[in-house]
Structure 1
Amino acid sequence: MHLNLDSMIRKCNEHGYFRGESCPDCGESGRYVLDDEREERLGRFISGALRHFPDDVGLTMDEQGWVNMDLLCDIMDRRYKWATRERLISLIESDLKTRYEIKGSKIRARYGHSVNVELDYLETELPYLYYGVSQEEVDMLLDTGIAPMRQRYVHLSTSYGKAIESASVHTENPVVLEVDVDEAQNNGLHFMLVNDDIVLTDGVPPEYLSVVEIEE
């Protein structure tokens, strides 16, 4: 089996879990915790369980998206004997995209849900947010607004660059829409900041959207 050292999860005694060959804070190689193949398998399972089909794997999810950590670990152990609690924690704490969070005896996904949840993050204080789309979608969204597609919430980006990065997964020449958050919040819309890059909202009406024009 080939091990990708760049994505392997290790633990530094001083700085905790990290991904790669050496701790980014001190350069120590640390202790092996999880290889890239198992990290990918565990990541897919956790994503499904916490975002898409908790009932199917035997989890009860509350309104804010939390499930019991002990029960999740028991379910993991039955599926993958190598999937220990430490390996789950290492996957979460080393994740630069901060997809998940642990609070006491509970765990949840921060974003990406297709199940119906009511997340409870604080309002963003950013005056503008961004949404990357294909050129073919621009006119339609400016006319109808942005609504969730296969997900519970619309996922907005906190910067122009992040919007380009997100949209580039789906289109070669993305266009970025700017969301007037201040005006939308003044009219009762809510925008939840879940991490440094992503803000969630129920939807964005067209009157708060404009195309970001880039000077050549």
Structure 2
Amino acid sequence: MIRKCKEHGYFRGEVCPECGNSGRYVLDDEREERLGRFVSGALRHFPDDVGLTMDKQGWVNMDLLCDIMERRYRWASRERLVSLVESDVKNRYEITGSRIRARYGHSVDVELDYPENELPYLYYGVSQEEVDMLLDAGIAPLRQTYVHLSTTPEKATESASVHTENPVVLEIDADEAQNDGIEFMAVNSDIVLAESVPPEYLVVVEMEE
């Protein structure tokens, strides 16, 4: 559920995490999920199919997206779209002026323009079956435009746990790779993007039990 606190803005849950105020109702769980699926599809995977024109950096016109969204869902509104974006703890989308885009997760061809990564090491969680293959061939995107790397071993483990019960974490020597011309973009505090990561920058992290 998404609600709005007068003092702290949109939040997810029953009470504002900043002050404990219950706030004003904006969107229930079912509609939040439906709207989230639509926005994800429109901004990451099939903008053309819903009637959007996306530029090279992944931006689309906010007013047009709202018009399309409101025709599809009678209960949808600009405020509900903004609430979805601003309350998202995963920071999946961003709005700038009259434009909106997904920060990551694209399967369409985009050329994102985020700042260069400044962390010396990055991390990537995989299944045990994938380890040897990736150490030999490197990391390349499968169904997405970019490889999504994590900023901590814990975040890499969390991401990989969605797909495997016993994830293995690979450490990427981002400092050396960037010195060699490999580009890494810092999307937010958790995610860094790369077009690919060659195998010579990868080692397995020995996680503490």
Q: TM-score range by the shorter chain?
A: over 0.9
Alpha-carbon shift at residue 213 of structure 1 (Å): 1.6
Structure 1 residues 3-82: aligned runs within 5 Å: 8-82=1-75
- SS of the equivalent of 2:84 reads helix
Question: Which of 118, 122, 142 does residue 115 from structure 2 map onto?
Answer: 122
- SS of the equivalent of 2:40 reads helix
Alpha-carbon shift at residue 214 of structure 1 (Å): 3.0
Distance 2:167 2:16 in 1: 35
User: Residue type of the partner of 1:57?
Assistant: V
1:176 is aligned to 169
Question: Which of 188, 191, 198 does residue 191 from structure 2 map onto?
Answer: 198
User: Residue type of the partner of 1:11?
Assistant: K
Alpha-carbon shift at residue 27 of structure 1 (Å): 1.1
Distance 1:55 1:129 in 2: 34
State whether structure 2 residue 115 is matched by structure 1 residue 86: no
User: Residue type of the partner of 1:207?
Assistant: E
1:146 is aligned to 139
Deviates more, 1:55-64 or 1:26-35: 26-35
Distance 1:42 1:182 in 2: 39
User: Residue type of the partner of 1:158?
Assistant: T
Alpha-carbon shift at residue 64 of structure 1 (Å): 0.0
Distance 1:126 1:28 in 2: 37
Runs (4+) of structure 1 moved beyond 2 Å?
A: none
1:169-207 deviation line (CA, Å, top 9, x unaligned): 111111000000010000001110101110000000000
Distance 2:81 2:167 in 1: 35
Distance 1:29 1:214 in 2: 40
TM-score (norm. length: structure 1): 0.96
Question: Which of 91, 94, 101 does residue 101 from structure 1 map onto?
Answer: 94
- Structure 1: segments with no counterpart, 5+ residues: 1-7
Task: Return closer, same or farther for 1:21/1:185 CA change in 2, 3 Å cut-off.
Answer: same
Distance 2:179 2:21 in 1: 50
- Structure 2: segments with no counterpart, 5+ residues: none
Alpha-carbon shift at residue 71 of structure 1 (Å): 0.1
Question: Which of 138, 154, 157 does residue 161 from structure 1 map onto?
Answer: 154
Task: Return closer, same or farther for 1:42/1:141 CA change in 2, 3 Å cut-off.
Answer: same
TM-score (norm. length: structure 2): 0.99
Question: Which of 203, 206, 209 does residue 213 from structure 1 map onto?
Answer: 206
Distance 2:207 2:192 in 1: 23
- SS of the equivalent of 2:54 reads coil
